């Protein structure tokens, strides 16, 4: 339904690795056909086909990482999936492209606007590069 530009983002956590490319994409799925955990399993399969190996190590380099940030207005809390994504409000590399595709976005769990969330994150946008401390 919509996709942001691809942004080049400095690594978080482990800094001594190549920069990441990040993008936010909005898709439409039927919740009956694609409940959240089933969609997540499909995304894991796609990642594996594209060469991702999950070691369990945080901030590791990887060829692809597909996250479910939101699922309509739903709140999901399961061992495998938390929606809204628990870290998205702290990540400029999520918020900047999300604002691009939905400048009026409000978080479904508390009504916070995208601008309010971005105002709480220390970041700098330079063209299509996102720097975050």
Is 52 noted as a catalytic residue in this protein?
yes
* Cα–Cα distances in angstroms (integers) from residue 62 to residues 8, 11, 18, 37, in the given order: 15, 12, 10, 22
Contact 132, 91 (CB under 8 A): yes
DSSP state of 71: B
Q: Is 102 a catalytic residue?
A: no
- C-alpha–C-alpha distance, residues 85 and 68, integer Å: 7
Active site (annotated) includes residue 124: no
Cis ω before 40 (30° cut-off from 0)? no
Q: Confirm whether 65 is a catalytic residue.
A: yes
Candidates 21, 42, 54, 65; catalytic one: 65
The catalytic site residues sit at 52, 62, 65, 67
């Amino acid at each position: 339904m919509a996709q942001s530009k691809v942004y080049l983002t400095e690594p978080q956590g482990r800094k001594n690795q190549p920069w990441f490319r990040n993008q936010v994409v909005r898709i439409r799925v039927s919740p009956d056909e694609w409940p959240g955990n089933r969609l997540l399993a499909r995304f894991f399969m796609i990642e594996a086909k594209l060469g991702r190996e999950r070691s369990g190590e945080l901030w590791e380099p990887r060829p692809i990482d597909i996250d479910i940030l939101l699922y309509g207005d739903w709140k999901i809390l399961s061992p495998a999936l938390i929606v809204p994504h628990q870290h998205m409000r702290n990540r400029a590399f999520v918020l900047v492209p999300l604002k691009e595709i939905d400048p009026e976005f409000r978080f479904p769990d508390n009504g916070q606007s995208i601008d309010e969330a971005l105002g709480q994150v220390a970041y700098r946008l330079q063209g299509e590069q996102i720097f975050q401390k």
